[in-house]
């Protein structure tokens, strides 16, 4: 529970802003692992705006924890992933104009295109995860496609404007986790998670993995990446301990909020 995948895309963003060779995401992955990261997450985008093919190749050789490749189902990227064989592939939607991944993959609509991609990547030895919104239809479609896991989009939770919206978003995530478990899926979470909002969601003790990027890389500018990762890991570990102390199931076996 509460494993931390550190998304290092934005280290590469700084490098690409100058077309230079530093800062190197390979160095970042080492620092993140020394700080306690359970995995390194990268998104090899079709436009290569941050992570490049060279980074992906080197990280495959150097990451000692778990390499999670976020990727679109574009044939060129699928081909690279099949060759690279990262530990995990997380299929995400991708639009060129977006600043970051906005919302989840529409697995329901794209099922016929997604299924063969899942089969090919599984044959390559990768674990498969789908980045989706916390929605029952999307969860069912993901299970039907043969994914091992889903990563629930936490944007609604992260951007909630008031307490009511926050509780509603958290409740939606809880219901999605229950559905995911019933379908035999491992459930991850990511997008917009920060040092300020991580605790309530991590205290559920329901997510096996959190993928966090922007907030950690932003803090790293002031405290260094190793320390920034350590601080996030401490919050996740504290939340996991508190979660273990709650009785998380009711008589029906459903998850209850602490
Ligand atoms: N998970 C997925 C699937 C993402 O696309 C992203 C953004 O690249 C993240 C997690 C990390 O989001 P953030 O940078 O907001 O922490």
Binned at pLDDT 50, 70 and 90, residue 69 comes out as very high
190 pocket-lining for ligand 1 (C-beta < 6 Å): yes
pTM of the model: 0.94
Binned at pLDDT 50, 70 and 90, residue 97 comes out as confident
Q: Is 76 helix (H, G, I), strand (E, B) or coil?
A: helix
Active-site residue, 70 included? yes
Q: Is 172 helix (H, G, I), strand (E, B) or coil?
A: helix
Active-site residue, 76 included? no
Best residue for ligand 1 mutational test, from 3, 4, 5, 7 (most atoms within 8 Å of Cβ): 7
Rounded CA-CA distance 32/229 in Å is 6
In words, the CATH class of domain 3-243 is alpha beta
Q: For position 8, what pLDDT does the model report? A: 98
Rounded CA-CA distance 196/204 in Å is 16
């Amino acid at each position: 529970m509460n494993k931390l995948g550190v998304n290092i895309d934005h280290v590469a963003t700084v490098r690409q802003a100058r077309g230079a060779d530093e800062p190197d995401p390979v160095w970042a992955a080492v620092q993140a692992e020394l700080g306690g990261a359970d995995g390194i997450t990268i998104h090899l985008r079709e436009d290569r705006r941050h992570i490049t093919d060279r980074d992906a190749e080197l990280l495959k050789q150097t990451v000692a924890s778990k390499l999670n490749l976020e990727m679109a189902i574009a044939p060129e990227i699928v081909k690279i992933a099949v060759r690279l064989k990262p530990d995990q592939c997380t299929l995400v939607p991708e639009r060129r104009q977006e600043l970051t991944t906005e919302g989840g993959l529409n697995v329901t609509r794209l099922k016929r295109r997604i299924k063969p991609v899942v089969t090919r990547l599984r044959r390559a030895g990768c674990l498969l995860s789908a980045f989706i919104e916390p929605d029952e239809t999307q969860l069912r479609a993901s299970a039907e496609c043969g994914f091992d896991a889903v990563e629930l989009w936490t944007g609604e939770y992260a951007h909630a404007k008031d307490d009511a919206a926050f509780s509603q978003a958290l409740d939606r995530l809880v219901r999605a986790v229950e559905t995911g478990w019933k379908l035999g899926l491992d459930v991850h979470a990511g997008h917009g998670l920060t040092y300020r909002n991580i605790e309530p969601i991590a205290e559920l003790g329901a997510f096996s993995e959190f993928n966090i990027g922007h907030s950690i890389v932003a803090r790293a500018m002031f405290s260094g990446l190793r320390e920034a990762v350590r601080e996030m890991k401490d919050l996740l570990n504290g939340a996991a301990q508190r979660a273990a102390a709650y009785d998380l199931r009711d008589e029906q076996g459903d998850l209850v909020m602490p």
